[in-house]
């Protein structure tokens, strides 16, 4: 075998190893579970599926039994009161709080909720902030020139966690756009 062939085989070996590493990295840090449920709810409410996958990754890392210190439950970390409100609006018969750990129900309710926030605020970034901090907080921030220069979109928030959440969701959306 001549030097050119050895070099090419070595080069191909390095490329293959990098591809395996990158694929492994993506699967560990950006899992994709419940793809059918995400796609179904996204289609029903006209929401980008990569947004929903990103939110699930950030909120629960795809753990349907996750519960936050604030009492938010399931894949999309919905507060039981918010979930109940969404279930009523969707006319879900026999809905109960235990349903929040059922992936298709949690994803459907969470997707509907973010869709209502997008309609309310007419801006995706502002809606994502509202999902994290609550719509009433966001409404008050929009009235403050320190956080909004047009009373429609946020330039920042007083909550570092919400600012980080928004940047994290946007980053994850870029990754998950490759899955849908």
pTM score, whole prediction? 0.85
CB 172 within 8 A of CB 54: yes
Closest-CA residue to 126 (of 134, 53, 37, 146): 134
Catalytic residue list contains 59: yes
Is 19's pLDDT higher than 80? no
CB 32 within 8 A of CB 56: no
User: In the structure, what pLDDT confidence band is assigned to residue 88 with cuts at 50, 70 and 90?
Assistant: very high
Q: How confident is the model over 113-152, as pLDDT tens digits?
A: 999 999 999 999 999 999 999 999 999 999 999 999 999 9
CB 49 within 8 A of CB 38: yes
Q: How confident is the model over 154-178, as pLDDT tens digits?
A: 999 999 999 999 999 999 999 999 8
Q: Classify 92 in phi/psi space as left (phi over 0), alpha (psi -120 to 50) or beta.
A: beta
CB 21 within 8 A of CB 15: no
Catalytic residue among 37, 44, 59, 146: 59
> Domain 31-176 belongs to what topology?
Lysozyme (1.10.530)
CB 166 within 8 A of CB 147: no
Q: Where are the domains of the chain?
A: 1-30, 31-176
CB 132 within 8 A of CB 162: yes
Q: How confident is the model over 27-46, as pLDDT tens digits?
A: 545 678 999 999 999 999 99
Mean pLDDT of the chain: 89
Is 26's pLDDT higher than 80? no
Q: How confident is the model over 41-68, as pLDDT tens digits?
A: 999 999 999 999 999 999 999 999 999 9
Q: What percent of the chain is helix, strand and coil (3-state, nearest 5)? A: 65, 0, 30
Is 107's pLDDT higher than 90? yes
3-state secondary structure 65-82: CCECCCCCECCCCECHHH
């Amino acid at each position: 075998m001549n030097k050119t062939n050895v070099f090419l085989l070595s080069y191909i070996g390095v490329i293959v190893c990098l591809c395996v590493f990158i694929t492994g990295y993506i699967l560990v840090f950006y899992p994709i579970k419940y793809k059918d449920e995400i796609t179904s709810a996204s289609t029903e409410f006209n929401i980008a599926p990569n947004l929903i996958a990103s939110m699930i990754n950030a909120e629960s890392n795809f753990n349907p039994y996750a519960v936050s210190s604030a009492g938010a439950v399931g894949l999309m970390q919905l507060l039981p009161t918010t979930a109940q409100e969404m279930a009523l609006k969707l006319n879900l018969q026999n809905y109960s709080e235990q349903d929040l750990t059922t992936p298709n129900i949690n994803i459907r309710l969470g997707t509907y909720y973010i869709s209502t926030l997008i309609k309310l605020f007419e801006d995706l970034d502002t809606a994502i902030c509202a999902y994290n901090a609550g719509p009433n907080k966001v409404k008050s921030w929009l009235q403050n020139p320190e956080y909004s220069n047009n009373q429609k979109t946020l330039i920042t928030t007083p909550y570092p966690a919400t600012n980080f959440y928004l940047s994290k969701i946007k980053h994850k959306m870029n990754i998950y756009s490759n899955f849908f």
